[in-house]
Every structure is written in C-alpha cells, then in structure tokens.
Copies of this chain bind each other. A is one copy, B any other.
Amino acid sequence: MMRVSRQVKVGEILLGGGQPVWVQSMTKTPTHEVEATLAQIRRLAAAGCEIVRVAVPDREAGLLLGRIKEGSPLPVVADIHYDYRLALLALEQGVDKLRLNPGNIGPRWKVEEVARAAKDRGVPIRIGVNAGSLEKNLREERGRLASAMVESALRQAEVLESVGFADIVLSLKASDAPATVEACRRAAEMCPYPLHLGVTEAGTAWAGAIRSAVGLGALLLEGIGDTIRVSLNADPEREVQAAWHILAAVGLRRRGVELIACPTCGRCQVDLMPVAERVEAALAQVERPLKVAVMGCVVNGPGEAREADVGLAGGKGQAVLFRNGRVVRKVPESDMVEELLREVRALLGQEAPGNDEGGNADAGR
C-alpha cells in the first residue's frame, strides 16, 4: 500500500523510492551565526535529525552556507524565498538541496535559471507550498485550499520539468491538518515525486505536536510521505523527537524508548505518574528502539508489560518485572524504578549493577 515515489539524492541520503521516511528539522539560530547554527545542527543530529534546513534570508547568509555545509554532519537544505539569486548562491556554496517557495519566487525565467543550475550540480529542489504564502492569483481564483496548493506545486513542477529537471520533491503544508492531508493525497496521486510532509505553523510544543500527529499520522498510515518535518514553536530538538514519536506511532520506524504507560485510575495502587516521567527521562538518550511498559494494576498491566521488551506491572507494595515476555522477578515498590532501569541497561548490554543512575533511584514510594 506504500506509495513508491521517484528517488532523489540529498547529499548521501536517498529520498523516496521505498527508502525510510527521513526525519528533518530546521535551524532556528540566525544563519549568519555559523558556530551557533552548526552547534544546533549537531544537537539536532544527536536527537535523530537526518536532514537539516537553514534559512537564507539574505546574501550575507548565503555566503556562509559553504562553511555550514562543511561543518554539518547532516545534508544541508537551503530555504529560499523571494530572491532566486539566493538559490543560485546556495548552489555555488555546495548545499545538498534547495527549497523554493513557488508563492514568492516570481517569474518563470528565474525558476528556470535556478533549475538549470541545480541540474548541473545534481542537486534536488523541493517545491515547498505553504497555504500562508500561496501565489496571489491562486488564492483568489480557487475556493478550496487543498486544490490551490496542489495546483501551485504542480505548476511549479512543470516549470522545472520544462528545462529537463526531474529531481523534484514536493511539500504542501497548511496549518489546517485536513487541508494538508487532502492536498498531499491528491499530489500523491497526480505526480511521481517524493513528498515532504508537514503541518505548518502547527503551534506550541504540545498542541503543535498533536496537530502534526493528526495530519502526518493519517498520511503515513496511508503509505504517503518520504520525509517529515514537524514544525513547532519550540526548540528544534522537540521537532525531531515529535517526528520520531509519530513514526513510531504509525509503526514505520523506531528510535529510542517507546514508553507504554497506563493512565492510572481509581484502581491504581501505585503512584505511577512520577515513575513514568522518571523512566522516560532516565532513558531519553537511548537510541536503540525499545518498548518499555510501566503499568499500575492487574487489569491490563501484565498483558501490556509482557508485550514490551522490558515491563513493570505494579501492585500492592510490589511490582512484577518482565523482560522479553517473561517474568524476571518481583521487586518491592520502593525499588521498582531502579530495577526497571537495571533491566533495560542489561538488555542494552551495559553493565547492570551499581552504576550511577540505578544507584540513586528511590522512586515509586
């Protein structure tokens, strides 16, 4: 059921054509500040970001792209608005991909010139349509947002195709999730290009992650999407974490700990909320995919804990530890976080007993 798109190459990364759905983000530092931008890119890479985009607001920023590219552990995408000369400059600076906004680049010949230069260098171009900056005539002539977005993207793709350029990626983003879903579905049917998914201006870390999960989740469950970027008004690492949570939730890719935690209710015999938060925090740096269950009672506890790689089902003053579906041992409630973390570390092949975090654990009481 997965849509197989035409493949493009972004630096060393193959995008589309059955490859994994890659996680992207965008730097929020002023691009002129090269060191700060590179530091943020390194943090993003550590959090699981696989492609990074930087804004190119002006020529001064454009001239620094080579240094950013050189220092970046990730393929670098230059985000271009308004001025096609910034796109040409970004190509000269060796970026791995361009993002153009068809709503504000202007006349056809400018886009053609960028496409020719990109073709010469083998650099793909993402046509990035945003509802908030649709070409004026499209906003006016079309009632429905999704159609207008698709038309804007395909029109621009035609301009690129007309000069023999085919390394195209499309994105169609609105802050409205159903409009985004509808636009991407249509684009997925109407063209072979890989799709970059995002719900734009989604909001703050929590509300924005929810809105993104609704839009991106629905598309990914349908097999649509080749790379995703979660736009949050928050630290960019949060965008990357949210993207991974979405990919895990749809069952496509996993990275780090997926915590199954019961919501607790009036039958819960363990004070589980601090436990879940502590376990999540203690395992935040784990990269290997791992399912950890923290459950508070006998109703679903043992069942879910058994499905997890490591699980804990709390009871009256004690908890049962599971590993790979088998009961490991019973532990007193006062030690259950420590014991759970010990089990996880053992599973990860790290030394189990007597290390720092474990030794200090005192929760669950």
A residues neighboring B (CB under 8 Å):
26-32, 37, 53-57, 61, 79, 81, 101, 104, 130-134, 175-178, 181, 200-211, 213-215, 217-218, 221, 231-234, 236, 239, 242, 245-246, 248-251, 258-268, 272-273, 276-277, 280, 293-295, 299-304, 307
Asked whether, in the complex, the Cβ of B234 is within 8 Å of the Cβ of A178, the reply is no
Asked whether, in the complex, the Cβ of A177 is within 8 Å of the Cβ of B272, the reply is no
Provide the residues of chain B in CB contact with A221, threshold 8 Å.
178, 181, 214, 218
Among A203, A259, A302, the most chain B Cβ lie within 10 Å of the Cβ of A203
Among A28, A251, A263, A276, the most chain B Cβ lie within 10 Å of the Cβ of A263
User: In the complex, how many angstroms separate the beta carbon of A59 from the nearest chain B beta carbon?
Assistant: 13
Closest B residue to A133 by CB, please name it. B300
Query: Which of B26, B104, B272 is close to A263, meaning CB atoms less than 8 Å apart?
Result: B26
Measured in the bound complex, the distance between the Cα atoms of B175 and A295 in whole Å is 12
Asked whether, in the complex, the Cβ of A276 is within 8 Å of the Cβ of B203, the reply is yes
User: In the complex, how many angstroms separate the beta carbon of A172 from the nearest chain B beta carbon?
Assistant: 13
Q: Given A211-B245, A221-B214, A276-B233, are A293 and B201 neighbors across the interface (CB < 8 Å)?
A: yes
Measured in the bound complex, the distance between the Cα atoms of B301 and A208 in whole Å is 17
Closest B residue to A313 by CB, please name it. B132
Q: A37-B266, A130-B299, A203-B258 are in contact. List 20 more A-B contacts (CB 8 A).
A: A27-B265, A28-B263, A28-B268, A53-B265, A55-B265, A132-B303, A132-B307, A133-B299, A177-B217, A181-B221, A201-B293, A201-B295, A202-B263, A203-B261, A204-B280, A210-B210, A211-B249, A214-B250, A233-B264, A236-B263
Closest B residue to A265 by CB, please name it. B55
Closest CB pairs A-B (n = 4): A132-B300, A214-B217, A132-B303, A55-B266
Asked whether, in the complex, the Cβ of B303 is within 8 Å of the Cβ of A245, the reply is no
Q: Given A27-B266, A133-B303, A266-B31, are A277 and B214 neighbors across the interface (CB < 8 Å)?
A: no
Can you list 7 A-B pairs with a CB-CB distance of less than 8 A?
A28-B264, A55-B267, A132-B295, A176-B251, A177-B249, A205-B206, A218-B218
Provide the residues of chain B in CB contact with A280, threshold 8 Å.
203-204, 207
User: In the complex, how many angstroms separate the beta carbon of A229 from the nearest chain B beta carbon?
Assistant: 9
Do most interface residues of chain A lie in helix, strand or loop, or is the interface mixed? Answer: mixed
Provide the residues of chain B in CB contact with A249, threshold 8 Å.
177, 210-211, 214-215
Measured in the bound complex, the distance between the Cα atoms of B104 and A248 in whole Å is 30
Measured in the bound complex, the distance between the Cα atoms of B214 and A213 in whole Å is 5
Provide the residues of chain B in CB contact with A303, threshold 8 Å.
130-134
Provide the residues of chain B in CB contact with A61, threshold 8 Å.
266
Asked whether, in the complex, the Cβ of A259 is within 8 Å of the Cβ of B27, the reply is no
Q: Given A234-B273, A250-B178, A260-B175, are A101 and B299 neighbors across the interface (CB < 8 Å)?
A: yes
Q: Given A177-B250, A217-B177, are A259 and B207 neighbors across the interface (CB < 8 Å)?
A: yes
Measured in the bound complex, the distance between the Cα atoms of B233 and A295 in whole Å is 10
Closest B residue to A245 by CB, please name it. B210
Provide the residues of chain B in CB contact with A231, threshold 8 Å.
262-263
Q: Given A250-B177, A261-B204, A263-B26, are A210 and B209 neighbors across the interface (CB < 8 Å)?
A: yes
Q: Given A214-B246, A263-B26, A304-B175, are A209 and B208 neighbors across the interface (CB < 8 Å)?
A: no
User: In the complex, how many angstroms separate the beta carbon of A233 from the nearest chain B beta carbon?
Assistant: 4
